[in-house]
Structure 1
């Protein structure tokens, strides 16, 4: 007599390896040590971190955007090729190409352009400021409050920590001021004429009347990477 359910008979058991991670919570599936390539790029005023997991022994390929899984392929026998995904309206492709010595080269394309070309063109369309301070809300945890302010020049859209702001610029002598407050910090984005045709409008950011130095987008972006790695 068998005490096993008929579904547990040996002939009913799958002989295929169980490679799916559907039963594992997303936060546990993400493992920084498994990332073989990463990029960072501005898309529609927001900064995105794009990471690739490429398991040459497990056959698993996963793509993460800002720590969230956007694509997963389990048990892939073909370890090279490309995967397509979208970030907002931008079409992204990650290519895996063979390299000498049983290694692999990883590259990212956004809207048909290599990552290096895409980011170079995008940096000319934005102004960026980074500001950090200890706010009253974060003082107990001894963690500084960080702000990333991005201005899209063609639409004058203003983003603070990836959130689009709705403030309206006020006309002042010589230009405009756009004011907004975040956690008891008063920000003023000033737009003034440079006085010459080549430079056009100069944008300056003040935080509680203190000048915030302008940052370069490249400072918070990974350089275009081509990581050669085997598992």
Structure 2
């Protein structure tokens, strides 16, 4: 849970999984002044100091995807905040991302490297940057070769699980060692409501 100063009007935070990284969205709402502040990855992207209308919607983009935070009244001076990403409710978008992204965290000495595979396109992202890959057919499946920022060789082995409900299985090998996949929830924690 984030620590919120008594002067802050922080009402909601969301951890939004994308190919390049897990983005943190914070929203402040002054319920007496109508003030609205929106931060993405701790960078302020929107500020309204004084608004007469306390409910409404704030639109913004995240990696070219349209997003909206809706402010709805649920009682006298009580509000509900919801996020939509790409036209989908946040929870539905998050579930979709869990199915379409595979993420690994690789420890290389003191550095942690994030590797993300977009299963639909087979694009590979390393520490937020899309990298060049080379495909190779192998007896056990398809190998997608690429280099990590450290110069280490890596490949993702994609093979059939043998179960049509599971589909393809993707495993990352760095310097020929298998790397355990990460859960999206492991990256940024669950979504939080400040106290």
TM-score range (shorter-chain normalised) is: 0.7 to 0.9
Match 2:153 to one of 167, 174, 186: 186
Provide the rounded CA distance (Å) in 2 between the counterparts of 1:128 and 1:50.
20
**How far is 1:152 from its partner?**
0.8
Give how far 1:131 is off: 2.1
| Counterpart-to-counterpart distance in 1, 2:76 and 2:111 | 46
Structure 1, 95-104 or 166-175: larger mean CA deviation: 95-104
Identify which of 38, 58, 61 aligns with 1:83: 58
Structure 1: tracts of 5 or more residues without a match = 1-30, 135-143
Deviation readout 1:77-115 (Å, 9 max, x if unpaired): 332221111223311111122345633322111122211
Secondary structure, counterpart of 1:182 in structure 2 = coil
**CA shift at 1:161, angstroms?**
1.7
Alignment CA distance shift 1:59-1:165 (3 Å) = same
The change in CA–CA distance for 1:100 and 1:223 in structure 2 (over 3 A counts) is farther
**Per-residue Cα deviation, 1:141-169 (whole angstroms, up to 9, x for no partner):** xxx31121111111101111221111212
Q: Which has the larger radius of gyration?
A: 1
For residues 108 and 31 of structure 2, what CA distance do their matches in structure 1 show? 43
Contact 2:19 2:128 in 1 (8 A): no
2:130 is aligned to 164
Distance 1:213 1:113, change over 3 A: same
Moved over 4 A (4+): none
Choose between structure 1 and 2: higher strand proportion: 2
Contact 1:188 1:206 (8 Å CA) reproduced? yes
Moved more, 55-64 or 162-171: 55-64
- Distance in 2 (alpha carbons) for counterparts of 1:118 and 1:100: 28
Q: Which residue of 1 aligns with 2:90?
A: 115
In the alignment of these two chains, the number of paired residues is: 189
Q: TM-score, normalised by structure 2?
A: 0.82
